[in-house]
Amino acid sequence: MMDIHQILKQLPHRYPFLMVDRVVSIDKSKSIRAFKNVTINEPFFQGHFPRRPVMPGVLMLEALAQAAALLAFDALGKSPEDDTVYYFAAIDNARFKRPVEPGDQLMLDVELVRMKSGIFKFKGKGTVGDELAVEAELTCAMRTIA
């Protein structure tokens, strides 16, 4: 379990781009379960869409990637350094099955498939209740910057 204070120590993201509110569980080097509480106060709802607010699909993928980053740091047994960045390298087989709306809790389940030389492959899914909202395979790269 990881609360918002611990998440803020691990992820460089800040409001309005922090997409993980709490980690429910981590199975070391295997999987993570976290969630994002989606509220009407999210800045993207003003324009997406004014009469029918839905969370953009790319932000659902970002939420999965942030949960995946927390899993990667846990698997490595270290916190990210100031000179370390964590990038998307690929998004495969992304599917959006259900809109995510204000008031929903987007549950993020991510499994580590492979890690080698700073490249991580994950399978992730986001659900609302027992309904699948998003699923994708994510490849992320951890790199040191000058």
Catalytic residue positions, numbered:
48
Q: Longest C-alpha distance within the chain, in Å?
A: 46
DSSP-assigned beta bridge partners for residue 116? 119
Is the distance from CB of 66 to CB of 36 less than 8 angstroms?
no
Between the CA of residue 85 and those of 2, 12, 89, 122, 144, what are the distances in Å?
Answer: 21, 9, 12, 17, 6
> Tokens standing for 10?
């691990």
Give the whole-angstrom CA distance, residue 11 versus residue 79.
9
CA 102 to chain centre: 18
